[in-house]
Amino acid sequence: MDYVTAVPHPRSQAAGPARAGRRSLAVALLCGALGAAVALLATRQRWSEGTATVAGGAFPLTAKGSDVTGVPAALAIVGLAALVAVFAVRRAGRLLVAGLLALSGVGIVAAALTSASDSSALDDKAAQTTGDTSATVAALSHTAWPYVTAAGGVLILLAGLLALRYGRLWPAMSGRYERGTTRPRRTARAAADPDRPEELWKALDRGEDPTGA
């Protein structure tokens, strides 16, 4: 008895990678944009607070994330630019940009976690407030915003990893925007009708007889 082997249709084979490419693209865009927004927003929030002794009293001090470190905000902008640049390059260039995107996320996570318990920004403010360069902040406490910043970095890292894994399946910028491509030739204009009034006037301006044979 003969058995007929079913051959998969080419369209069904191509549908799987195409579907994976669309899904990974949507997730990467969402993670990258959301991660950058979270990181930028979190660096503008209060990361730490404390008090400085001034004239026998306690003066409250606070430090934002941007006061503690500017690395997460800078890398968030770099990551956002890399996310957009992924669609402007192809092949090896896309891998390099995707790697930069992933490294931006790693840098944000590292900078946020290492600065989560930093007190140098508040110590500097305490020295400026009291006029004593050796003054330090008292009653120091930290908020959860550094960890929120790190979470934004994780999202950017995930976008970079998706770009590294599925970037070859993503669409690229249209070829007409690439350097070196030739512009489409314009179609030739239709032949002028000598019987049209404007053509008669043009012929008179040139000194020709429009009624001549």
DSSP string, 79-102: HHHHHHHGGG--HHHHHHHHHHHH
The residue that leads in pLDDT, 138 or 198, is 138
CB distance 30 to 103 below 8 Å: no
Q: What is the pLDDT of residue 212?
A: 59
Residue indicated by tokens 């044979």? 213
Using CA atoms, how far apart are residues 115 and 43, in angstroms rounded to an integer? 11
Indicate the DSSP class of residue 62. Answer: E
- Percentage of residues of the chain with pLDDT beyond 70: 73
Q: Treating both helix axes as pointing N-terminal to C-terminal, what angle do 91-114 and 10-42 enclose, rounded to 10 degrees? A: 30
User: How far is Cα of residue 2 from the mean position of the Cα atoms in its chain?
Assistant: 57
Q: What is the model's pLDDT at position 174?
A: 55
pLDDT at residue 68 greater than cutoff 70: yes
What mean pLDDT do residues 75-96 have?
A: 92
Q: With 50 as the cut, is the pLDDT of residue 176 above it?
A: no
User: What's the helix, strand, coil split of the chain in %, to 5?
Assistant: 60, 10, 30
Query: Mean pLDDT for the chain?
Result: 81
- The SS3 call for residue 50 is strand
Q: What is the mean pLDDT of residues 55-78?
A: 91
71 bridge partner residues: none
Per-residue burial over 71-98, b if 16 or more Cβ lie within 10 Å, else e, is bbbbbbebbbebbebbbebeeeebbebb
How big is the chain by its Cα radius of gyration, in Å? 32
- At residue 207 the predicted structure's pLDDT band, cuts being 50, 70 and 90, is low
